[in-house]
Amino acid sequence: MEIISENKAFGGRHIRYRHHSEMTHCEMTFAVFLPPFASKDNPVPVLYWLSGLTCTDENFMQKAGAMKWAADLGLAIVAPDTSPRGDNVPDDENGDYDFGLGAGFYVDASEAPWQQHYQMYSYVTEELPALIETALPVTRERAISGHSMGGHGALVIGLRQPNRFVSVSAFSPIANPMSCPWGEKALSAYLGDDKSKWQQYDASWLISQKQHTIPVLIEQGTSDQFLKEQLKPERLLNAAQQSDTPITLNMHEGYDHSYFFIATFIRSHLEFHASHLGIL
């Protein structure tokens, strides 16, 4: 792990790292916030944050206002990049923002030419936590959250890995990617035409199966410009009701898809995770 930059914030440290990933076969960047007093003798639990389309590790750390509350709670935050990057990493041939670089969708791609690098599911669930827990003063207690594409990733990972993450939350998640333009484009290219493969990356389908239960908290703004065509939270709610799976979906009048929305409600999400991590 190579340190790119380090800044003191709210008594703790915000550090950006670069490392070579065995999963994505390229250099990956991620950011960490370590709260005050986090040390080898006093390790702290971790919230993993997954960002949305076009974002990097920097968006959440700089815009969400989360570090103050994480410092107060004694909670570390880890924010990975949203996709592999580099000169040899394939990108969308048209340069579209919703696919390729910056849009890894947190899946393990099986189709050429994406399968060599686009292994973001395994990177987030296996390689990155192992690296973090070896090198930094954190425990093996983990929670996960995210926004938009990252909200989709957080829900899928939390639902599929309840033994590795104690709670999951999301802001404006892509709730049913099998049935929206963003998801159909990404899943068909990364995973091929067999929609049975898509199901494992669709939170609404996973909840409908009620394979596992994990505490789930979701925030959605009613003025989100992507609400009807791309996000479809009602699909997630319907699946939860049909399978008798408890989730909390809060609709907020007038809020949009931006980080103004995230910053407004991020404290309640950190406290939600802190309660399940046993530090609140």
What does the pLDDT average to over 16-23? 98
pLDDT band, residue 202 (cuts 50/70/90):
very high
pLDDT of residue 5: 98
Given a cut of 80, whether residue 211 has pLDDT beyond it is no
What does the pLDDT average to over 120-130? 98
> Which residue of the set 204, 208, 224, 276 is catalytic?
224
269 is catalytic: no
- Collapsing DSSP states into helix, strand and coil, what is residue 96? coil
Give 216-253 pLDDT, tens digit per residue: 999 999 999 999 999 999 999 999 999 999 999 999 99
Give 83-92 pLDDT, tens digit per residue: 999 999 999 9
How big is the CA angle at 114 (ends 121 and 148), to the nearest 5 degrees?
A: 45
pLDDT band, residue 213 (cuts 50/70/90):
confident
What does the pLDDT average to over 191-199? 96
pLDDT of residue 225: 98
224 is catalytic: yes
pLDDT of residue 210: 81
> Which residue of the set 21, 51, 83, 148 is catalytic?
148
Given a cut of 90, whether residue 145 has pLDDT beyond it is yes
pLDDT of residue 59: 96
pLDDT band, residue 280 (cuts 50/70/90):
confident
Given a cut of 80, whether residue 212 has pLDDT beyond it is no
Sheet holding 138-147, edge to edge: 2-9, 12-21, 26-34, 76-80, 44-50, 138-147, 168-171, 216-221, 248-252
Return the CA Rg of the chain.
17
83, 25 contact by CB (below 8 A):
no
- What value does the mean pLDDT of the chain take? 97
Residue matched to tokens 């974002």: 55
Among candidate residues 79, 81, 73, the one with its CA nearest the CA of residue 12: 73
Dmax of the chain from CA atoms?
Answer: 50
> Which residue of the set 117, 147, 152, 257 is catalytic?
257
**What residue ranges in 39-137 does DSSP mark as E strands?**
44-50, 76-80
CA distances from 271 to 39, 75, 143, 206, 279 (A): 22, 10, 11, 25, 9
Give 47-106 pLDDT, tens digit per residue: 999 999 999 999 999 999 999 999 999 999 999 999 999 999 999 988 899 999 999 999
14 is catalytic: no
Q: What global pTM score does this model have?
A: 0.97
